[in-house]
Amino acid sequence: ALVLLQILILALGASFVGALFGGALALGGAALAAERLPLAPALLQLAAPLATALAFGVLTGLTFALPALGRALTVSPAALFRGIDGAALRTPARAWALTALCALAVAALVVSVLPDARFGLAFVGVTVLLLVLLEGVLRGLRGLSHRLLTHPRWQPRFELRLALAGLQRPGSPLRASLLSLGSALTLLVACTLVVATLLRTVNETVPQQAPALVFYDVQTEQLETLREVLQAAPSLKQLQTAPLVLGRLAAVNGEVLRDSSDGQRAREARDDHKLSDRRGNFDDVIVTRGAWWPADHRGAPRVAMEDREADQLGLKVGDSLRFEIMGAPVEAQLAAIYSQRRFQARLWLEAIFSDGVLDPFITRHVGAASLSSQDAIAAQDRLAAAAPNIVSVRTEALLDETRALMGRASAGLAVIAGVCLAASLLVLASVVAASRARQVYEASVMHTLGARLASLRCTLRWEYALLSLVTAGFAVVVGSGLAFALLRLRLELDASGLYWTGAVTAFGVSAVSLGLGARYLLGQMRVAPARLLRSGA
C-alpha cells in the first residue's frame, strides 16, 4: 500500500507538471494561430483537456508500475537475505489483471476523447500491435544473440562478444530503448515520410499536372470569346471546357430521399450536386465499379456517381436514380461508380451523365487552360476586359497558399514528433542513469580481474552501437509501414524515392541519442575501481 501510494503521488505530480507544460504549449500555439484564424484562447477551455491529461498520466503510470509491484510482493523475507535473482521473479495473476484493467481504461479514454471513435480504435490497435512487435523483436534479438555467441564457427573479438552478451542480460537497456526511443522514432519516421510526400506532391506533382488558369461561370454564348482570348497566348497547350449543372438526387429505386428514415439519405436530398457529362470529364476520373457507356450511346440516360456519395447512400450499379434539375425530374440508371484523382481533381463532380441528358439545363460552363505563368496573367487581363462576369483563378496563387499551409502543418507535425522524442529521451536517460552504477561496477570488477579499460570502453561502444542500429532499424521498418498505409490507402499518394529520408532521420537521431548516453557512461568509468569496490555498489 505504501509503494502504491508513492506511485500514485509520483504519477499525479508528473502528470500535473506535464499538463501545465502542455497547456502552456496549447495557449502559445493558439496565440500564434490567432493571427491568421479566428481563435480566442481561453484558460477555461483547457480545464477538460488538462483533467484528461491527468487521468492519462495516472492510468499510464499504474499500467506500467503494477507488474513490477506485483513481482516485488512475491519476494519472501528469507530471499532478501539469500539474494534475489531478478530473472526468477514472476508477476502474479492479480497484478496482470489490474494492469489489464488500467490499460482498458486508457484505451476507453482514448476512444472517448477523440472526435471520431474510429481513429481512437485505430490508435489503440496500432499501439497494441506496436507493443507486440516490440516484444517479438526483443525476443528475436536475444535469441539471435545467443545463437551467435554459441555458434562454433563464429568467434568474434572479445569486445563484441561481451556486448552481445550484455544485450541479453536481465538488466539490459534493450527493452527500454525499443519501447521509448523506438516508438518515438517510429512516429518521427512516419511523420517525415508523410510530410515529405505531401510537400513533393504540392511542389512537383500537382504543378506539373495542374492547369495554369481555371474558369467559372462561363455562359454558353461566351465559349467562343473564351477560346479567342486564350488562343492569343503563345504558350497555350490545352483548353478544356465542360458544362456545369447543379441538381439534387431526389429518389433511389423509387424511394424518395426526403421521406427516408435514414438520416444520411434525408440530408443528401438537400445537398446540391455538381453535374456534368462525359464530354467534359477533364478531371479524368477512374471507374472502380461498373463501366462507362459507349462513347456513341444514344439510349436510355446513364449516370456515374462519385464513390464517396454513392457509398454514403448505399448505391449499387444498376440502381434507378431520379434527379431534380431546375425543378424538372431526370431519370437515369447508375452505370458506374468512379473515384477522383485526389490532389489532381479540379471540379470534384458528384455525377457524370451520358451525353445529351443535361443539354436542356446547360447555361454555364467551367474551363481549364494550360499555359505559362506570364501568359496566364496577361490572359486574365484580356478576359476581364472582354467578359467581366467570367471568374478566372490562377492555380499558382492557390499552390503558393497551399505550400504555406503545408509548411505550417509540417512545423506542427515536427513539434508533435519532437515532443514525443524528447519524452522518450527523458525515459531513456532515466534508464541509462539507473543502470550506470551496475554497468560501472561490472566494468570495474572485470578491470580488476584483468580486463583492460580500453577493451571495456570498446565493449560499451559496441553495445550502444548495436542498440542504435536495432532501434533505428525497427523504427524505419514500422514507421515506413505506417506511412505507406496512410499514404496509399487513405491519401492515394506514392512515397517512392523518399523512404531514405525516414531512414536518415531514424539512424541520425538514434546515433546521436544513444551516443550521448554512451559518452556519459564512458565518462563515469574514470572513477577509481577501488573506490567502487569499497562502496559495495
pLDDT digits (tens, 9 = 90+) for 305-315: 998 888 888 89
Residue 212 has a pLDDT of 84
Exposure on the CB side of residue 512, measured as CA atoms within 13 A: 9
Q: Is 483 part of a structural domain of the chain?
A: yes
In terms of C-beta distances under 8 Å and separation of at least 24 residues, what long-range contacts does 7-12 make, across chains too? 7/61, 7/62, 7/65, 7/69, 8/58, 8/61, 8/62, 10/61, 11/57, 11/58, 11/60, 11/61, 11/62, 11/65, 12/54, 12/57, 12/58
- pLDDT reading at 430 higher than 80: no
Residue 88 has a pLDDT of 59
**What residue ranges in 30-121 does DSSP mark as E strands?**
none
Instruction: Report d(CA 488, CA 477) in Å as an integer.
Output: 16
Number of domains, the chain = 3
Angle at 448 between CA 442 and CA 452, to 5 degrees: 90
- pLDDT reading at 180 higher than 70: yes
Amino acid identity of 79? A
Instruction: Report d(CA 411, CA 431) in Å as an integer.
Output: 30
- pLDDT reading at 517 higher than 60: yes
535 and 411 in a common domain: yes
Among candidate residues 59, 79, 113, the one where a domain is terminated: 113
Amino acid identity of 179? L
- pLDDT reading at 537 higher than 50: no
Name the more confident of 345 and 153: 153
Instruction: Report d(CA 251, CA 322) in Å as an integer.
Output: 5
β-strand pairing of 328-339 with 302-306: parallel
pLDDT, tens only, 468-479? 888 888 889 888
Residue 472 has a pLDDT of 87
Q: Residues 236-249: what's their mean pLDDT?
A: 88
CB 487 within 8 A of CB 194: yes
92 and 150 in a common domain: no
| Nearest-10 Cα torsion for 426, 431, 433, 434 | 140
Mean pLDDT for the chain overall: 81
Q: Please report which helix (H) or strand (E) contains residue 355, including its range.
A: none
Residue 316 has a pLDDT of 92
134 and 79 in a common domain: no
Name the more confident of 274 and 400: 274
Among candidate residues 86, 113, 140, the one where a domain is terminated: 113
Percent of the chain with pLDDT over 90: 13
43 and 101 in a common domain: yes
- pLDDT reading at 464 higher than 90: no
Q: Is 228 part of a structural domain of the chain?
A: no
Phi, psi of 240 (to 5 degrees): -120, 140
- pLDDT reading at 535 higher than 60: no
Q: Is 379 part of a structural domain of the chain?
A: no
Full strand arrangement of the beta sheet holding 238-243: 238-243, 364-370, 213-219, 391-394
181 and 147 in a common domain: yes
- pLDDT reading at 302 higher than 90: yes
Helices assigned H by DSSP within 168-249: 174-176, 183-200, 206-209, 223-231
Residue 11: count other Cβ atoms within 10 Å of its Cβ.
Answer: 20
Of residues 203, 198, 209, the one with CA closest to residue 345: 209
Among candidate residues 90, 113, 136, the one where a domain is terminated: 113
481 and 513 in a common domain: yes
- pLDDT reading at 226 higher than 80: yes
Please report, for residues 99, 462, 520, the alpha-carbon distance to residue 90 in angstroms, rounded to integers and kept in the order given.
14, 31, 33
CB 65 within 8 A of CB 112: no
Residue 64 has a pLDDT of 85
Q: Is 333 part of a structural domain of the chain?
A: yes
Residue 419 has a pLDDT of 75
Amino acid identity of 343? F
Residue 346 has a pLDDT of 62
- pLDDT reading at 16 higher than 80: yes
95 and 124 in a common domain: no
Provide the grid cell at 4. Answer: 502504491
- Calculate Rg over the CA atoms of the chain: 32
DSSP labels, 398-441: HHHHHHHHHHHHHHHHHHHHHHHHHHHHHHHHHHHHHHHHHHHH
131 and 47 in a common domain: no
152 and 36 in a common domain: no
Q: Is 214 part of a structural domain of the chain?
A: no
Q: Is 8 part of a structural domain of the chain?
A: yes
Name the more confident of 84 and 276: 276
CB 252 within 8 A of CB 320: yes
Q: Checking phi first, is residue 154 left (phi over 0); if not, alpha (psi -120 to 50) or beta?
A: beta
- pLDDT reading at 282 higher than 70: no
Longest Cα separation, the chain: 99
pLDDT band with cut points at 50, 70 and 90 for residue 280: low
Q: Which residues contact 66 (CB under 8 A, 6 or more apart)?
A: 95, 98, 99, 102
Provide the grid cell at 182. Answer: 523506438
Phi, psi of 249 (to 5 degrees): -80, 115
Q: Residues, the chain, total?
A: 537
CB 248 within 8 A of CB 311: no
- pTM above 0.75? no
75 and 126 in a common domain: no
Instruction: Report d(CA 347, CA 274) in Å as an integer.
Output: 8
Q: Print the domain residue range for 39.
A: 1-113
Residue 514 has a pLDDT of 77
259 and 192 in a common domain: no
Range with top average pLDDT, 73-82, 142-151, 276-285, 410-419: 142-151
Q: Is 533 part of a structural domain of the chain?
A: yes
Of residues 533, 530, 428, the one with CA closest to residue 173: 428
Residue 438 has a pLDDT of 64
DSSP labels, 252-302: ETTEEGGG-S-HHHHHHTTS-EEEEEGGG-TT--EEEEE-PPPTT--SS-E
Phi, psi of 390 (to 5 degrees): -75, 125
Amino acid identity of 401? E
Residue 13 has a pLDDT of 92
**Cell 484580356, residue?**
382
Q: Is 61 part of a structural domain of the chain?
A: yes
534 and 400 in a common domain: yes
Residue 322 has a pLDDT of 92
Percent of the chain with pLDDT over 70: 85
